[in-house]
């Protein structure tokens, strides 16, 4: 029995959604980094141009914190997805090995 064609189909199917999600998370991460940098620049400009506390400071600080949390969450999700993908691959390879030994 030859299981190679089935394995190729099986290994690419679970991989695609996980990799697609990882790519989406990476794109979102890049986007969040840009937003964070814009917020930092705006914060720096605000600090330079005002003599007293800017009323937007609390809002900007909250936004920076929200973006940091969102980035950390995206990183954790990407790591989890990679681990799940690796576990699925290992399971498929083990099953194929067992089937070829029969």
| pLDDT tens track, the chain, 102 positions | 444 444 444 454 556 777 888 898 899 999 999 999 999 999 888 777 766 666 788 899 999 999 999 999 999 999 999 999 999 999 999 999 999 987
Query: Which residues have CB under 8 Å from 57's CB, separation 6+?
Result: 43, 46
Comparing C-alpha atoms, which of 32, 15, 38 is closest to residue 73?
Answer: 32
* Residue 30 Cα distances to 33, 51, 72, angstroms: 5, 33, 12
- Please, what are the domains in the chain? 4-101 (1.10.287)
Query: What's the gap between Cα 6 and its chain centre?
Result: 29
**pTM over cut 0.85:** no
d(Cα 64, Cα 42) in Å, to the nearest integer? 11
């Amino acid at each position: 029995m030859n299981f190679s064609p089935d394995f190729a189909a099986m290994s690419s199917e679970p991989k695609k959604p996980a990799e697609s999600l990882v790519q989406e998370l990476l794109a979102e991460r890049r986007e969040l980094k840009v937003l964070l940098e814009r917020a930092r620049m705006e914060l720096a400009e605000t600090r330079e141009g005002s003599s007293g506390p800017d009323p937007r400071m609390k809002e900007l600080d909250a936004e920076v914190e929200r973006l940091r949390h969102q980035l950390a969450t995206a990183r954790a999700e990407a790591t989890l997805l990679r681990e799940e993908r690796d576990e699925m691959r290992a399971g498929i390879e083990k099953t194929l090995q067992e089937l070829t030994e029969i």
